[in-house]
Structure 1
Amino acid sequence: MRKVDQIERYFEPQLKDMGGYPISTVSDNIFPRSVIYKDGNGSYQLTGYLAPFVESFVKTLNATLHVYWDHAPEENEIVNINLLNDLIRAGKVDIPMFITNLGFTPSHRNHSHIVELSKWQIMLPVESQISRALLVVGGGTKLLNLCIFILMSIYALIIHNIRRFELGMAPSLMCLWVIFDPVLRAMLSQTFSMPRSSSLRLRWTLAVLLLGSFVFYNIYITNLETLLVHPPFDPPILSYQDMRRAGLKLMISEPDKGALTFVLGQRGYNANSDLYEMVSTSVYQTSRSQPNTSYAYPITQTLWPHIKMKFIRQEQAAFRLSKELVLIPLVHFALRLPSNSIYKGAINRYILNTQNSGLYTYWRTQSFYDLLAIGKTKQLPYKDTSSSMHLRWEDLYYYWLIYIVSVNICVLAFVGEVLVYSIGRWRAG
């Protein structure tokens, strides 16, 4: 008879080698975690970063992955979460290929370790840039233009009153003509005529004017060139009121409505109900993944890296994550498991190993290229930014408009003068 202390293990580990035993899973078809699509033969396939995550786990147990296709959705349609939970409770699914927010189901205790930490916030279209034509005709920032105008007025007052003092006259504020000549000419680095018999005081004043105009002219040109290369944006959207002002709506689907009501409360949801655009889950996922800049979208940081990868070759992305409109600052995502799941310990160890080794991060990055290969997403081509570095004809639109209007006025005035002259001669003759 063997002693008890000589026995290392009473039972053989059940999950050491499962010998091809099937492990069932199901997908919720949420982009980009686990995406259902059809291959060239019309068969259902899975991609997304949770697909290799679950497949690799099944391989570590020497098991076979069985995907539950009975409730496969239409293209881009999200599977009902209640249906998925019923499959898990019924024991038809061993390891789900989707993750759930633990905050929405606090009473459910059968879940794995935390798989992801994220945020739930609003993705906004980037505010439009101010027209370069307006920047050219406006001459840069309003504050700089105001400072230059104040400086020109001070120079004009000083020069005008120095001349009056030399002539024995009282000071005066009527110096408008001095602003144009010589002050404006000096600011534009143009030549201007000096009085022949000017005093030393006036010469020093004009010398200071030339020096100041040189400094401010270079500041003005540098600022204008900077604005032409990097035009400023319209006022940013920081609140729901700003969204109303901009006429921007938040596109949501039916699952998002329940989540928003859970987070904001019924009163908070109804307060901004005019901003919500309710659509089907397929339309929602299609618009969000294109992405359609006509709407704002609630997203987690799971999708945001894919959005950035779409525009990585562009000068700037078409969307930005709002730091002010954050719905949930910290979201815990985990795998929902059946009651008394024999895989709970194994999947928890597997989650820790994949996260510590960097495999999970790699799968998240690689999923973009997998989705790109099957046409579920796209990457915008490189944009030539050299054209934005130079002054273009359309940037001088308002100058051309002023020039054409002025020429037409001059032509009309000339025609009027000719007509008046001809009528006068006709009457005299």
Structure 2
Amino acid sequence: METMAWWIILLLCAGNSGAQLMDIASKSEPYLEESLFNLLLRLQLEETYDTLLVYGEDCVFHSLSRRLDVSTVLVSAGSTNFDWNFSSLTLIVSCDPEAEREATYRTLIKLQRNRRLLHLQGNIQPESVCNRYSQMEQYNIAMVREDFNQTGVVYACRLFENPKVDEVNLLDIREIYIENFKNMLGKPIRTVADLLPPRSMIYLDAKSGDKKLTGYVANLITNFAEKVNASLQLEDLGNKYIVREILKMVENEELDIGTTLDISLRTAILETSSYPYILTSYCLMLHVPAQLPYNMVYAIILDRLVLGIIFLLFCLLSVLLIYSKKMSWQDLSLANILLNDKSLRGLLGQSFPFPANASKHLRIIFCILCFASIMITTMYEAYLQSFFTNPPSESKIHSFRDIGKHHPVAIPSIEIDALIRTNNSNFQEIRKDDLVIFDNLPECYVLRDSFNSSYSFAVTGDRWSSYAEQQELFKEPVFYFARDLCFSRLLFMSIPLRAHLPYRHLFEEHMMRQQEFGLVIFWRGNSFFDMVRLGLTPLKDLSHPRAYSPSLLLEDVSGILKLYLAAMVLSIFCFLLELGEKKWRRWRDLAKQLCSKFDFRRGL
């Protein structure tokens, strides 16, 4: 019985102690909730938030959400299982470190940079929590323990500092969440350069002897690394320095930033591309039409409309001359109009007989005829002298269907795939026989850089600017930028970025600041001179100009001489025909006289 009594006493003591502990806990919980509420208010002052995302089962954060004037999303299962379009001003709170088990890809990317506040229970160490979230590339992490109402200490993760966990008191003026990547303390940024000038060009520094990059894309990357105090880990792909390989490595998260450009025609997943870096066009680079030969000059100056006007003027002046001669329509006929000697010679600027007693009307017509001859001969003489000095060019191509009539288009396969994937209507007009596809991107670009005259090329507007500047050194331009033959007039070019890159926002902000300060325009303007300085572009004429001819050759005027000979032969034939007609009339009249005399004598 005594043993039973002792057990009852012990159970009563234990129950009394448990009741006292429950009472203490129930009294301390309101103080913890009030401390956490003050913490959430402070976080809203540091950086405002409009949504509270709560992961985990029922805990103190659920009751706090009712007191905050913000929208609240409760995810007790730890995952949304579908794509949430959360605002960037979302504060994430978790009841314990294991409460957040988000698995939706796009939701993870959207919430990667958001601030997180965790409630630690038991003996969970803040260092282990920081390491766990660091593996998921989530770095804005803060934690509080169960005794936060007593200590007021917030444990914040620090990525590059030592120690990795910083203890911030609720009353401290220090910020709980900091931008970890503003100073990376030499952490490497993995990148690969496509080595396609003028985007990125490699050279040896004369002072240090190290390999360095330059170019309007490489300068952006290197300046960013200097800004955030990081180092560039430039990987070497050997002979595989093509854009396709770099884009694949970025998509596989083997690189942080690709030192190349990705076009909006190819990009399918926007998570692997930055904010647009360059806005340009994508058009054809065609051969400058050849100049017409000199023997075609006489043909092109004879415009049909002008010839028609001159012919009407000739007929009108002929009619007026015929009428003014006798002030009568008696001699008016088609032959006299079309073969009027005075009107024809007057319009050609030649002399013609002037009547001795010409009337006032006839004198006025002669003045009009002389003035018209001066205007016509002066106009055509000016045309001849100008076109013989600098003959006009042949007509340009104005349709994609006419490309095959001149030179085939050399284009890399990666660009072909992008045009096919986007169902480009202009590209579909080009016949397959008019395309020469290169699987090796640099091989195609080498042909384009050397101004190979066997092909036409597809080129972006930013690359054409350096080609146009290079052609200023040529005696004759080789190619021109066909702005009316474009696959895309609004082409966005972006920097390839790893999908989960935690400092994407810093890089895009840096990129836009470079644009704002005009550095990108400056780099692109100096692209040609950088290529010349590095020996990538020769300072010589690649246009292969034709030999200079100091004077006209016989073959240049052979056409007009043949025409002149044909006209002379026709004139002689007409002259002989006219003489034959006169002799025929004379013999005919003589025959008539003889016949009449014979008939008269026979009658006698």
Cα 1:282/1:84, change in 2 over 3 Å: closer
Deviation at 1:99, TM superposition (A): 1.7
Secondary structure of the 1:109 match is helix
Superposed counterparts of 1:119-130, under 5 Å:
119-130=281-292
Change (3 A) 1:243 1:108: same
- The one of 273, 278, 289 aligned to 1:111: 273
The residue that corresponds to 1:425 in the other structure is none
CA contact (8 A) 2:426 2:487 kept: no
Q: Which amino acid aligns with 2:287?
A: P
Match of 1:305 in 2: 465
Aligned equivalents of 1:269, 1:169: Cα separation in 2: 68
Work out which of the residue numbers 180, 205, 216 in structure 2 matches 1:49. Answer: 216
Tell me: CA distance 1:314–1:202, structure 2 relative to 1, closer, same or farther (3 Å): farther
Matched, 1:263 2:422: yes
Aligned in 2, Cα 1:336/1:150: closer, same or farther, shift over 3 Å? same
How far did 1:347 drift? 0.7
Closer, same or farther in 2 for the Cα pair 1:259/1:92, shift >3 Å? closer
Give the aligned partner of residue 173 of structure 2.
Answer: 7
1:256-289 superposed Cα distances (whole Å, 9 cap, x missing partner)? 2212211336997497212111234333112212
TM-score w.r.t. the length of structure 1 is 0.78
Amino acid at match of 1:170: D
**CA drift at 1:206:** 1.0
Could you tell me how far 1:224 is from its partner in structure 2? 4.2
Say which of 494, 512, 520 aligns to 1:352.
Answer: 512
Partner of 2:114: none
Percent identical among aligned pairs is 21
Correspondence 1:28 to 2:194: yes
Name which of 411, 418, 439 aligns with 1:252. Answer: 411
Closer/same/farther in 2, CA of residues 267 and 378 from structure 1, 3 Å limit? closer
| SS of alignment partner, residue 283 of structure 2 | strand
Q: State the SS of the aligned residue for 2:445.
A: helix
CA, structure 1 residues 213+301, in 2 after alignment: closer, same or farther (shift >3 Å)? Answer: same
Following TM superposition, by how much is the alpha carbon of 1:249 offset from its aligned partner in structure 2, in angstroms? 1.6
**Do 1:53 and 1:363's aligned partners in 2 also have CA atoms closer than 8 Å?**
no
Specify which structure has the bigger relative contact order, considering alpha-carbon pairs within 8 angstroms and separated by 6 or more residues.
1
Q: Distance in 1 between the 2:416 and 2:517 partners? A: 37
Structure 2: distance between partners of 1:315 and 1:144:
35
Q: Following the alignment from structure 1 to structure 2, what is the Cα–Cα distance between the partners of residues 24 and 339?
A: 14
User: For the structure 1 residues 204 and 72, does the alpha-carbon distance in structure 2 shift closer, same or farther, using more than 3 Å as the test?
Assistant: same
Q: Quick check: 1:338 aligned with 2:498?
A: yes
Select which of 362, 365, 374 maps to 1:202: 362
Count of residue pairs the alignment pairs up: 396
Select the residue among 174, 185, 191 that pairs with 2:335: 174
Partners of 1:282 and 1:395 lie apart in 2 by 47
Distance in 2 (CA, whole Å) between partners of 1:346 and 1:395 is 71
Aligned to 1:19: 185
One-letter amino acid matched to 1:33: R
1:325 aligns to what SS in structure 2?
A: strand
- Quote the residue 1:377 is aligned against: 537
* Inter-partner Cα distance in structure 2 for 1:256 and 1:241: 19
- By how many angstroms is 1:53 displaced? 1.9
After superposition, the Cα gap between the structure-2 partners of 1:109 and 1:137, relative to the gap in structure 1 and judged at 3 Å, is closer
Structure 2 distance, partners of 1:129, 1:66, is: 52
Q: Which of 246, 264, 274 is 2:433 aligned to?
A: 274
Cα shift readout 1:268-325 (whole Å, capped 9, x = no counterpart): 7497212111234333112212222332222111211012112224576332332332
Once residues 315 and 476 of structure 2 are traced to their aligned partners in structure 1, the CA distance between those partners, rounded to angstroms, is 41
Contact 1:124 1:296 in 2 (8 A): yes
For 1:317 and 1:195, how far apart are their aligned partners in 2?
Answer: 58
2:162 counterpart residue number = none
Say which SS state the counterpart of residue 18 (structure 1) adopts: coil
Asked whether the equivalents of residues 140 and 227 of structure 1 are also in contact (C-alpha less than 8 Å), the reply is: no
- Once residues 39 and 149 of structure 1 are traced to their aligned partners in structure 2, the CA distance between those partners, rounded to angstroms, is 74
Amino acid of the structure 2 residue aligned with 1:22: P
Cα distance, 1:248 vs structure 2: 2.7
Q: Which residue among 342, 347, 351 is the counterpart of 1:191?
A: 351
Shift of 1:114: 1.4
Look up the SS of the partner of 2:189 in the other structure: strand
Amino acid at match of 2:552: W
For residues 398-417 of structure 1, what are the structure 2 equivalents within 5 Å?
Answer: 398=557, 402=561
What is the aligned-residue RMSD (CA, Å)?
3.9
Q: Deviation string for 1:28-82 (max 9, x for gaps)? A: 2334312457999x9976443212221121111222222111x1327xxx6151x
1:221 and 2:388 equivalent? no
- 1 CA distance for matches of 2:224 and 2:200? 15
Q: Secondary structure at the match of 2:286?
A: strand
Q: Aligned partners of 2:253 and 2:542: how far apart in 1? A: 49
Query: Structure 2: any 5+ residue segments left out of the alignment?
Result: 1-151, 153-167, 570-604
- Partner of residue 426, structure 1: none
Cα gap change, 1:402 to 1:310, in 2 (>3 Å): same
1:423 aligned partner: none
CA distance in 2, matches of 1:264, 1:281: 22
* Amino acid of the structure 1 residue aligned with 2:343: V
CA contact (8 A) 2:322 2:329 kept: no
TM-score by length of 2: 0.57
Note the alpha carbon deviations across 1:378-424, whole angstroms, 9 max, x for none: 455599x9x99x99424982159728996xx99xxxxxxxxxxxxxx
Q: 5 Å matches for 1:153-168?
A: 153-160=315-322, 162-163=324-325, 165=326
Q: Tell me, in whole angstroms, the C-alpha distance in 1 between the residues paired with 2:278 and 2:327.
A: 81
Gaps of 5+ in 1: 411-429
Q: 1:297 to 1:38 in 2, by over 3 A?
A: farther
